[in-house]
Amino acid sequence: MKVICERGYYKFFPEIADEIAVFENVTGRELVAVGNYYTFAKLAELSDYSIECQEYGGIIAKKNFAGRVEDVFYENGLKYNIEDDTIESNDNLTIVGERTDNYSWVVTGIPQAYAQLSDKTVITGFQGFVNVMYNYTTVSRWEYADI
């Protein structure tokens, strides 16, 4: 199944009819349809705007902004935490390891947005394919920023 994480917001695009069911069974995580993609249930609830000092997904928004949810995330410095199903500040970086080369890398499960590689590169988003049966992701394209 194709996965795109843009600015901390995850989108899944199944290619086979049962991929969503298998993913949910293997990971124990529910995916919800939003337009032409699926996302985590917590992300599906979010609005496409934020109001400064008001709650947005369980965290206080830093600014007023309207647009795509992934842009609201970026403008407010947010990310979805895969481990504990929460929305949090994107400055809480986790170390995830190293790229194997400059073209692709493989990670168990799904990569965490705003994770830091050992060379201090911060992965802000990515594109890849999730092997739903064996729970790993092959990442073929990524966005990064040196923080």
pTM of the predicted protein model: 0.88
Nearby residues of 115 by Cβ (< 8 Å), 6 or more positions away: 93, 94, 95, 96, 122, 123
Q: What is the pLDDT of residue 147?
A: 47
**How many folded domains does the chain comprise?**
1
Q: How confident is the model at residue 134 (pLDDT cuts 50, 70, 90)?
A: confident
Domain limits for position 91 = 2-146
Model confidence at 94, in pLDDT bands (50, 70, 90)?
Answer: low
* pLDDT value at 146 more than 70: no
CA-closest candidate to residue 72, choices 82, 61, 81: 61
**Residue pair 90/8 in contact by the 8 Å Cβ criterion:** yes
